[in-house]
Every structure is written in C-alpha cells, then in structure tokens.
Amino acid sequence: MDGDAPAAASGRGPPPPPPDDRYVCAACGGRGHWTNMCPNPPELLQLTEEERAAAGGSKSALRRLLKRKRWAYARLKRKQSRARQGLPVGADADADADADADNDNDNDDGADGGSAASADDVDAGSAAAASGSERDAAGSSSSSPQSPSAYGAKATDWRTATRPVAFMNKIHRRARARELAANGLRVAIDLSYMDGMTEAEQRSLKNQVKIAYADNLRQEAPLKLLLTSVAGAADQLLRTLAGFPDKWELETHGAHYLDVVPREDVVVLTPDSPHVLATLDRTKCYIVNGLVDRQSQIGLSLGRAAAQQLATARLPLDEHVRLTRSNRLPLNQVTGILAHVAHTGDWRAAILRYIPKAVPLDPAPEVTAAATGVEEAGLASDSC
C-alpha cells in the first residue's frame, strides 16, 4: 500500500504490466516490454540536443515531440510493410494520407457538415458509416478506378453505389451534386440585405446558408444553387465557413442577381406576395432572400421586387397546411422545400418534411404540380 501512495498522489495509476512474449516492440523488435517503454529506442525516437533546447525544459513540449517522433516512426514502419507487400509506397501513399486528413478536417457538412446543423457536416448521421469509404475515395485520386487504391480497396462510383445518398461519403456526394445540379432547378440566395441586419441576425444567416448547402448535397434532385451579392460584409461572413468558396459545389457571384440572371427569368420568393407558386419552371431562377427578419420588416422584400418590376410569388403554405408559427421561413427550409418539390411534385409532403409542426389541411387540395414537380410554365414566386 505504501508503494502505491506516490502514484495515487500524482494522479497516475500504477504502470501497466509487461506484455507477454507474443508482443513485439515496434522500436527495437525485442519482447517483454511495451513500445513506448522501450529501453533501447532507435535514433528516430530519441530527442536531439537541439530539440531538447527548443522545448525549453517543458515536459509537455517534450511529450509532444516524442509523440510526433512515434508517429513518424509508425509511418516509416507502414511504408516498409507496404513495400514488402508490393503496395504503392512513397509520394503517392503520402498524398493519399494527406488528402484523407484534409477531407476529415473540411467540415461538412459543411456542406459537408453536418448536415450543417451538426456540421461536414456537414453529416452527423453518416460520419461513422462513411469514414472508411472516404479513405477509399481519397486513395482513388492517385490511382485509376480499375487499380487498387493506396488502401487496397477498389474505388467505387456514386452511380453504382447502393447506399442512400445521406450515407455516401463526402467525395461521392459532392461529385453527384455537381453533376446533377448542372441541369437542376436554379435557386439564387440574395445576400444584399446585410446592412439591415444585426450581428446576431447575420450569424444566423450564415448558419442557414451552411445548412441549405449541406442539405442540397443530400437531395435526390440537387438544386443549382447560386450565391449573389457575395461582397463586403457578406463575403467576410461566409469566408469563416470551412472550405468556402473554393470547396463548395455552388456558384458565387459578387454582383447582384440581376447582373447574373436575365430579368425575364427572375422570380422573387416572398411571403408578402399576392401570387401563389403552384408549379416550378426550370427556365426560371427563383430568388430566396437572405434576410433574417426578426424585426418583422413586413413588405421589405416585396417592395424591392416591385420597385425593380420583378415577378414575385409565395410558397403555397396556406393552401396545404395550417402553420403554428409565422410564414416567414428560414432560407434553408425554403431551398429544401423547392428541392423536394422539384423531385416529387408533392408540395404537402415537402412542407411537412421541413416544417414538421405544421398541421395538414383536410381535405387535401388537388396537386397542381407535374409528376416531376417542374413544368415549363411557372408562376413568379417571392421568397417564402
């Protein structure tokens, strides 16, 4: 008992028992001791005088240096093992490992938090399921699809994957969204309302953009998302998001949406519009106002659209459900509803999916959208 008192007082338990003869030390190849307690460590695991001087006598700094050396030594042993097995060794394997680490650090989310609500997510639900497949996809960047990747697994394509979209890894999900969104429904998020919002409202707007992007990656029919007026305060705000804008699968424009989209194709979505959006039109570009309206600025978005003589409309919320809250939805709910309707044509199911507390009307009105949710002649819509 007396011998255990110093260890308990220091907050550390007794040393672990020595391993049996089956354990081989990775440092010296001997037996009877653990690798991190090797009495004869190789030169790669020994600190030089310069490294000790750089640590400045700090025990925590010395431990960090030793940990880095163990990692480097472990990488060396893996390379030697791969060389014996005839697998790729060298710059390609290092690049695959670096790419894998970069993918793990990108969030999700974002796009690819999480969903961005848990943000990589961008994907809280698929992080564990996709961790192994992300390494396979990262390895395929340095090898052909027919040859084994750096991790010994064959690369797979999202077109032949049998997993649901939500459980695809980030690389496949982004590639899928990029290809499908090329011919998807155009939806532009207007960020020209920054001056009229408080700092808290601007932070809320940033989170809504992140959630909308991450949710669009998991849609069966991804939207062709555009961000307009990304300049000044809006640009600085969004650049705090991981990977924005270089790694995000959407278009960003510093100009106003009228400088990007022809005027006759613009449909501004606003809850104050007298027009109801019954069907979607692929030839149109639907404008979702990036405005967090906690001050109830009724008619602000409608007034701007009317001054510019633009077509407006609102989502058919009152025609399908009874809301228990305001009809001014966050922009991520608006984009989610549009993407769901573009794929299924069912307004009621889309609204109940993104507004679960809404009460459906009985009897249900007739569905006016086409089977695909998109028709060639659609109403102008205002942001809902």
| Count of structural domains, the chain | 3
pLDDT in tens, 233-292: 999 999 999 989 988 989 999 999 999 999 999 999 999 899 999 999 999 999 999 988
Residues 80 and 123 in one domain: no
| HSE-up of residue 184 (Cα within 13 Å, Cβ side) | 28
Residues 190 and 96 in one domain: no
What is the pLDDT of the chain when averaged over all its residues? 75
Residues 240 and 340 in one domain: yes
- Bond prior to 316 in cis (omega within 30° of 0): no
Please state, for a pLDDT cut of 90, what percent of the chain lies above it: 36
Q: Look at 94 and 378; give whichever has higher pLDDT.
A: 94
Q: Are 322 and 361 in contact (CB under 8 A)?
A: yes
pLDDT score recorded for residue 354: 94
pTM across the whole model? 0.57
Structure tokens given for 68 = 């880095």
Decide if pLDDT at 115 tops 50. no
Decide if pLDDT at 117 tops 50. no
Distance from C-alpha of 223 to C-alpha of 217, rounded to nearest angstrom: 9
Q: What is the mean pLDDT of residues 202-217?
A: 94
**Helices and strands: H and E segment counts in the chain:** 11, 10
Residues 316 and 298 in one domain: yes
Residues 304 and 206 in one domain: yes
Q: Which residues contact 185 (CB under 8 A, 6 or more apart)?
A: 221, 223, 224, 280, 282, 286, 338, 339, 342, 374
Q: What is the mean pLDDT of residues 88-101?
A: 49
Residues 232 and 135 in one domain: no
Quote the crossing angle between the two packed helices 331-344 and 347-354, to the nearest 10°.
150
pLDDT score recorded for residue 124: 36
Cα torsion 117, 120, 122, 123: sign: negative
Least confident segment among 46-60, 203-217, 275-289, 326-340: 46-60
pLDDT in tens, 361-371: 876 555 444 33
Residues 289 and 211 in one domain: yes
Q: Look at 11 and 179; give whichever has higher pLDDT.
A: 179
Range of the domain at 224: 183-375
Coil vs helix vs strand at 39: coil
